[in-house]
Structure 1
C-alpha cells in the first residue's frame, strides 16, 4: 500500500510540473526534485527507517518544492506543505503521517531547522549538491533563476560571496551525509575562496596621486557596459 501511495505521489507531483510550467525556474525544476528524492532515498535506506517514516521522508521530498509552481517563491514551503496535506488527506493517510510530512517540508526553509532524523534526512538531501562535483553547474542554474525572478542581474562578486557565506554557515545534520558530502563541500568552498582571491588581486586599483574623496565628494563610478557585464558573468 505504501509503495502504491508513493507512486501516486510521484505521478501527482510530476503532473503539477507539467500543468504549471515555470520557465524561470531553471534550478527548482522537476530535475531538482528528482535529485532530492534520490538523495533522500539513499539516506533513508542507510538509516533503515520504518515503513511509516520512509513514506514520510519520500513524500516530503517529492512535495518540498512543489509550492514554487503555484505560489510566491519566498513562501514556497508553506504552499508545498499545503499541497501535500490536501493530497494526503484525500488519500486517507493517517493524520500523524501528514503532520510529519508538513514538518519535514517546513524544516527545509533556510536557514534549515530540522528537529528529528526524518527532517534531517530531507534537509541534507535538499542541499546534497553542495558537496558534489556538479555544484558549479547547479549554481549557474540557480543564479539564472534568481536573476529572472528578481528581474535584475547579480554580479559575479555578489553571487560568489553569497555562496561563500552559505558554505561557511551550512552543515549536514546526519553523520552519513557528513561522510558522503563534507569533503566535497570543503573542496567547493576552497575553489570559491581561491577565485575570490584571484578576482580581488586582479581588480585591485592602482594607486595614483589624487587624494581620496571626502564624505561630501563621492566618487562617480563608471557604469559597466552590457557586454562587460556579460563577460564577467560568463567567467563566473
Structure 2
C-alpha cells in the first residue's frame, strides 16, 4: 500500500495550520512546488526504485516543517518532526535517517552527499533558473525583510548576487534545464545595480 497520500495529507494539513502567514516564501506553495520539481528531476535522473522515490518525496514534504518552530536552523527541527512522526507510517530507523540526511542537505550552503540529496537540493532551488524568478524572489524578499535579514531592496539585490554566484546545481538535469537562465538572472540583477562594465 502506498502510504504517501496519507503522509502528504497529514503534513500539508500541518503546514497549513502551523506556518506563519509572514512566511511569504517558505509556505505550502513552496513545499508543493519542490515536490513537483523533485519528482520531475528524479525521473529524468533515472530514479526508478520505489523506496528511493518515496523517501525523496517524504523528505520534501518534511523539509520545511521546522519553520513552524524556528526560522534559523529549521532543518534540524524538520528532522525532529520527521523522526517523531514517520514511525507511525511504518518507516524504519534507517529510512528516517535517509530522510533526515536529505532534509539536512538542503541547508544553505547546500552540501549533498549522494544522488537523492542532490535531487532535493536542486528541486528546493529550482526557481533560480526558471520563469517567475523575480516574482518568487519578491516573496522571499518580503520574508527576509520581516526577519530582519535585509532592510532594503539594494541589500536584497546584493544578497541575491552573492547567492547566485555561489550557488550550484548538482544534477545533470538541473544544470541542463536551469543553469543558463539562472546566469541570465544574475546578469540582470548586476545590471540593475550598475555592476556590469
Q: Residues 104 and 153 of structure 1: is their aligned pair in 2 closer, same or farther, counting only changes over 3 Å?
A: closer
Task: Structure 1: give runs of 5+ residues left out of the alignment.
Answer: 202-236
Q: After the TM superposition, which parts of structure 1 deviate over 6 Å for at least 4 consecutive aligned residues?
A: none
Give the counterpart of 1:11 among 9, 12, 20.
Answer: 9
Q: Which residue of 2 aligns with 1:169?
A: 166
Q: Does 1:156 align with 2:160?
A: no
TM-score by length of 1: 0.79
What do residues 39-69 of structure 1 show as CA deviations (whole Å, max 9, x unaligned)?
0000111123211111111110111111111
Q: TM-score, normalised by structure 2?
A: 0.94
Equivalent position SS for 1:73: coil
Aligned length, in residue pairs: 196
**Distance in 2 between the 1:94 and 1:23 partners?**
34
Instruction: Structure 2: state its 5+ residue gaps.
Output: none
Structure 2 CA distance for partners of 1:116 and 1:153, relative to 1, 3 Å: closer
Larger radius of gyration: 1
**1:137 is matched with which residue?**
135
**Which has the bigger relative contact order, CA under 8 A and spacing at least 6?**
2
| Alpha-carbon distance in structure 2 between the residues aligned to 1:160 and 1:19 | 32
Partners of 2:176 and 2:61 in 1: how far apart?
24
State the alpha-carbon separation in 2 of the partners of residues 183 and 163 from structure 1.
16
Q: Residue 188 of structure 2 is aligned with which of 163, 168, 191?
A: 191
What pairs up with 1:29-44 in 2 under 5 angstroms? 29-44=27-42
| Alignment RMSD (CA, Å) | 1.7
The answer to whether 1:101 aligns with 2:78 is: no
Residue 67 of structure 1 is matched in structure 2 by 66
Alignment of 1:92-131 (within 5 A): 92-131=90-129
CA distance in 1, matches of 2:171, 2:59: 17
Question: Per-residue deviation at 1:22?
Answer: 0.7
SS of 2:12 mapped into structure 1? helix
